[in-house]
A and B are shown apart, each in its own frame.
Chain A
Amino acid sequence: MDILEQRFQVNLSGIIDLLSQHLYSGPQVFVRELLQNGVDAITARAHDEPNCEKRLTVEILSNRLEVTDSGIGLTEEEIHRFLSVIGQSSKRDLMGKQLDYIGQFGIGLLACFMVSDEITLQTKSANSPLQSWQWTGKPDGTYSVEQIDLDMPIGTRVILNANNQGKQYLEAKELLHWLNYYGKYLPYEINFINGKQHQRISALSIPWDYESTNKSNFNDKALTAAQDYFNGPFFDIIPFQTLKGKVKGIAYISAQPGALNGQQHHQIFLKGMRLSDTAHNILPEWAFFVNTIINAEDLSPTASRESLYQDETLAQCCEELGEQLIEYLIDMSTYSEQKFSHFVEIHQLSLKSLAAKNDYFCKKITPHLSFLTSKGRMKLIDYIAQNAILSIINNIDEFRQISQISNSKSQCVLCTGFAFDQEIIYKYAQLEGLEVKVVDPQSTVSQLQDVTQQGLLTFLKRINTMLNSEDVLVTLKHFEPVEVAALFVSSEKQMFISTAKKIQEQTDDFWGGIIDGVTDTSKTYQSNELCLNASNELVLQLSQLDDAELLKTYLQVLYVQSLLMGNFAVGDKELSLLNQGLLYLMNTGLNSLISNNNTCH
């Protein structure tokens, strides 16, 4: 059987519909495509003729738009070759010349059919300056080419007459918006004319051209550029560039905490042409605290030119940018400690949430994060330098109990009771092969030195039933610092029972009974512990006190004070104990003073 080889038929109006409905975000992209073609034509001409005029003019005449460039123009043969074959780009054919063209797909001009039912292109080629040509194309796929007798300079003029959909886009205000949006930082002069209104579109200063500016001017320039895109305030503004993708830009570090997993905002330009403000794949996902203005010379757009093509170059560029941000953070933590603390304070929860999820970020940043330790706040890197094992307490209550004494022991403990701390420490330890040891107050206190002197043992015997009503076991041990007279120690289950008892006092019998039901299972757990410091002067003096009532009052005050020191919940009962105790002690002290005075008189 013979096999007939046939060609696909292309339905141009179908393609236009495809572009407008599915590929592009809206008809406004025709502005971008016209600017792009004009800029590329000027670039092509400037390659052979560096001193040529480099200008692009956009003019509105009623519902008609004219875009004129001083670019290289097209010969008749080029018109047939490039304008009449979909997907054929003059720029792709010239890629071998290594010119900086923006376009490459050969579908750009079709975008104009979204706003106009006819495209007219008048052109005079620098390679054939004696002839001018006019190409007229229609959405049904028909076109005509004719030589025209028009006195025009070298370059190209595109003429569009607005169709119904195009009218709003050819209104001055709308057009101006999109010209600024796409073309503000294009490399050639672009002007907009609407009757008497003449306005320069292209900015005089490009934000990413900062080589020759000093730090102060850089900040001014960067802040001016940011006004169009981001809301400040900014914590810092830093320049950056990459080898891969040839990216140059400015990173604006946010001075306000964002929502967790908040979106980054990047204004991305490709060779000066605005690409997108919704492309997030240029920076690592953890760089939530950075907004950027970026220009890339060597990254590829997708066919819609509204996002970046996810290729190896983009991945390497993203990695390079990530490295630079990490380096910035590490430098800051090393050389500007206060500034880094401020940064962490602003972005703390987001930073930690990322460190808990992302191995790379965790490994790089965690050593520079500060954690609450029994010796105050400390960077993990400093903690590791002094401690071979990461001793952690996962509960803030328990940390408070231990931190008062572990400071004086060789052991320094890390509090990992705050959001994400535990996950970060475990992840970091796993990544770096470090050992983690969970510390608990009971075993730490049980290791303290017991008293052995007979006098103190007798004292302990006297006092160990005095706080029975508080369900507290009193112990007596030597520990440092000697200034701490008493330490309240409790486990989670003990705390649960104490809390349950307090709640029972504030509820009716019915709920009291239900709470009894759920605490019943915990009856076997030991009581909370009030550990008195046998090395403390006050405790030693108390051991000499004969007056049992006075001793009990002192103990009650010490008990409530130890609760306050550990930020345990102090309810009415405890506050009442404290008040009564203090009043009693003051009365006793005053009576004693008055009695002494009277004796002296």
Chain B
Amino acid sequence: MAIKSMETFLKEASVLQDENPQKLHLLEQALNSAVTQNDLLKQYDTRLKIVEVASFSGKLEKALMHFGWCVSQHDNDPLIFPLKSLLWKYKYIMSIAPKFHTISLDKINTLEENMERHYRQAGCSIRPVKVTLASSTYFKGEATEGLSLFLQSLGYQRDYYADCVACELNLKVSLLVANAKDEDAVSQSQVLISGVNHCAEVPHLTYSELLPSCTRLGDEQLAQKCLTKGYQLIASNPVYLPQMGMQLQYCALNGLLALGISRFQGHIHWWQDALCHWSLYEFELGAMLLFIAAAAEQEEVTLNLPESFSCYSSTGVYKTQVLADYFKQKLMVNTRGFDQRNGNDFFGVRVAQSQVLLSERTETNNVSIT
């Protein structure tokens, strides 16, 4: 059934925001037509659009896949498929790849080398390469090294391909948080959360990523902002699944179980649809902590969860311990995945530390689910 032409799909897609899932569907429809027509140029253009939209709508695996196709075309015929069209998107890909623990360190390192080679080949500053390297080092389980690399990256020249100031600063803040340099993180984040520096993803990311520091510093006022304003900014785009996980983690660790459970219910479908291991890890860690904390309070909880959820109960009544165990099992798969890939225990230690913190806090907190 010929519903619409490729051009119509592209036009319809062009009026939608990147985070609108329909946009990705429409671009995929346009791509199907280009594939059937065997039109490589149209495929190339459409796939680059898909890389962009998929990166901003949470379909990270699709961004990687289509980018791979585009790089291969470039390698085959650099005149028709120019390098410059790939450089900006390289940054997305480099920040996505390490978040899948099924992508080996060798592959990530080669990808980093390729990115640097391509940036040098195009005569551009390698600052973006160094910034993404700092980010990927964190996902390799080397948070301290990640922060150090980030600080080194600042010595490279900014040019057209550099990330915006807000994005770079946000990365710095998240690396400071990962290194438990909490006061510094909060202080550096001020220009982001006050809106002085902002962009399409900042301070959306910043608020939730500051929550571990809020827990450690006991800064409830900032946490309140992160849980309200920060939530509003991320609530409608599945690309923020990890940040939603961080919100759950904070709620669990700080006795805000009713709020946490409400957010869990509202966004579990993001988790079901996600394939990115780091996104899954953060949400599963939040869900596990939430239900461990809930289990300490009450045996059962009534939830409105989708039928497609593996533990779905038609009555809506769920055993809190069962849910805690379920998410722990899921979490352990991803934790092992990262730690085995990285050859360290960074992700496992994070889980263990969170559990210890939770048990300490559960003893002192008055928690309430209702």
Contact = CB atoms under 8 A, between A and B. Distances in A.
A385 interface: no
Contacts of B110: 510
B69 A517 contact: no
A565 B62 CA distance: 24
Contacts of B21: 394
A394 B64 CA distance: 24
Contacts of B16: 419-420
B275 A511 contact: no
Interface in A343-358: 349, 353
Contacts of B111: 514
Contact of B68 (A260, A372, A503, A572): A503
Contact of B32 (A372, A522, A567): A567
A567 B100 contact: no
A571 interface: yes
A396 B69 CA distance: 24
Most buried by A among B36, B97, B111: B36
A410 interface: no
Interface residues of B, number: 43
A396 B277 CA distance: 28
Interface in B18-54: 21-23, 25-26, 28-29, 31-33, 35-36, 38
B284 to A, nearest CB: 13
Contact of A511 (B13, B28, B35, B72): B72
Interface in A509-542: 510-522
B72 A506 contact: yes
Contact of A518 (B3, B22, B36, B103): B103
A40 interface: no
A517 B15 contact: no
Contacts of A584: none
- Of A518, A565, A569, A571, which is in contact with the most chain B CB atoms at under 10 Å from its CB? A518
A346 to B, nearest CB: 13
Interface string A319-355: 0000000000000000000000000000001000100
Given A415-B3, A522-B275, 6 more contacts: A349-B11, A404-B1, A419-B22, A422-B22, A507-B69, A569-B31
Contacts of B107: 510, 513-514, 517
Closest 3 CB pairs of A and B: A511-B68, A517-B103, A569-B35
14 contacts: A396-B25, A397-B25, A417-B22, A420-B22, A503-B68, A507-B72, A508-B72, A513-B103, A514-B64, A514-B107, A517-B107, A518-B102, A567-B36, A571-B35
A568 interface: yes
Contacts of A124: none
A518 B54 CA distance: 14
Contacts of B68: 503, 507, 511-512, 514-515
B233 interface: no
A418 B21 CA distance: 10
Contacts of A500: 61, 65
A519 B2 contact: no
A interface majority secondary structure? helix
Contacts of A548: none
A506 B69 contact: yes
Interface in A560-574: 564-572
A500 B275 CA distance: 14
B75 interface: yes
Given A349-B12, A419-B15, A520-B102, A396 B3 contact: yes
B57 to A, nearest CB: 13
Contact of B61 (A496, A507, A572): A496
A418 B28 CA distance: 12
A514 B1 contact: no
